[in-house]
Every structure is written in C-alpha cells, then in structure tokens.
Amino acid sequence: MKFNVTKRNTLYEGFYRLDKLTIEHDRYDGQSQFIERELLVRHDAVCVLLFDPLKDKIVLIEQFRVGAIEHGNAWLLEIVAGLIDKDEQPEEVAHREAFEEAGVEISQLTPITQYQSSPGGTNEKIHLFIANVDSSKAFGTHGVEEESEDIKVVVISKNEAFELVNQGKINNASALISLQWLIINESKLRDLWQI
C-alpha cells in the first residue's frame, strides 16, 4: 500500500501549525483515491507517570486545558508532560518536565511505549515513561511563566489513582495508559528497579 502527498499548504501558523494536505492513497480494493485533510502539526511529546514505589504514591498534576473547555471541567488531572525541542532526547525532556512541573528529580526512568495521540488529525507522537521519584518532595504549584503554565501538584496513593481511573476522573490518554500499564506491570517494574 502506498500514498503520495500531492499538495500541502499551511493554513495557519501560531503555537501550532495547521496544514491542508491533498493525498492520493491506495485502497484495499486495488484502486486509489484522493482525499483532502487538515493536519495539526505538533512536536512530539514526552509524558511521564511519577511513581514513588517506597510510599506507594503517584504524583499527578492538575492544570487548565483548552481542549477540555467544551467537555465540562477544564482542569484535568494529568501526568507530567512536555514537547520535545530540537536536539533533545525524550529522556532529557522527562527529567526536565518532572522538575519544572512537579519539582522532583527522577532516580530511575523506564519507557512504557510510544503511540500516536490522534492520528486522524495530528502528527504528534507520544513517548510514554514511568519514573521513580520521592513523592515527599512533590508539592505546591509549578510551571514555566513564559509558557503561561499554572500547575498544581497532586500526590495521592496508588490505589486512589486507580480508583480515579475507574470513576472517570482521570480521563486523558497518557495518564490512563500509564496507570493501566502500572496495574499490569508493577511486579516486573519493582524487579527492574530492584525495590
């Protein structure tokens, strides 16, 4: 199966970029077709679940999210995250964002997976990690002022976090995927971290 981008125009460029693409692609019936689609062009991102295995605590953050304003509550419980800048490795971003958003240092970092956040309309790829942190150092509000960040740190027990998933109060992909991964893989993770 093949595809070819025959035309690409930038419709808008601000914090993100929006392109309009004309694409010819193969169909499963052996034919081909042309489609037009808008593509939100974003940097890839890193998301990190902060876990304190000694205290069985999860460090989450809460912040305003414009994408949630039409769905009720615009302040979401999330995991630490940030965009990958030029010449950065995902692991570097994980360490930077853990400190910027939650005030903690990562002692061990383990990759969970990589996934496309919403491939029907954006090119963003997420690098998802879990990190060993000391939750006693996580408190207060954080964020980079130039990025208009206003981030509150929320430290809860691992079981409380799992219950918030079940209640639908944690409802964003990176937090859901990482917490569900922890439910399945905690024993292996503790072996890996030698805890």
pLDDT in tens, 42-52: 999 999 999 99
Distance of CA 193 to the CA centre of its chain: 23
Residues 82-141 pLDDT 10s:
999 888 999 999 999 999 999 999 999 999 999 999 999 999 999 999 999 999 999 998
Rounded CA gap, 126 and 90, in Å? 9
Q: Which residues form the catalytic set?
A: 147
Numbers of helices and strands, H then E, in the chain: 3, 11
H/E segment holding residue 61? strand 57-64
Full-model pTM? 0.92
Q: Give the Cβ contact number of residue 106 at 10 Å.
A: 21
Query: Which three-class secondary structure state does DSSP give residue 80?
Result: strand
Which residues lie below 8 Å from residue 120, measured CB to CB, with a gap of 6+? none
Question: Two tokens at 59?
Answer: 């460090």
- Map tokens 């079981």 to a residue: 159
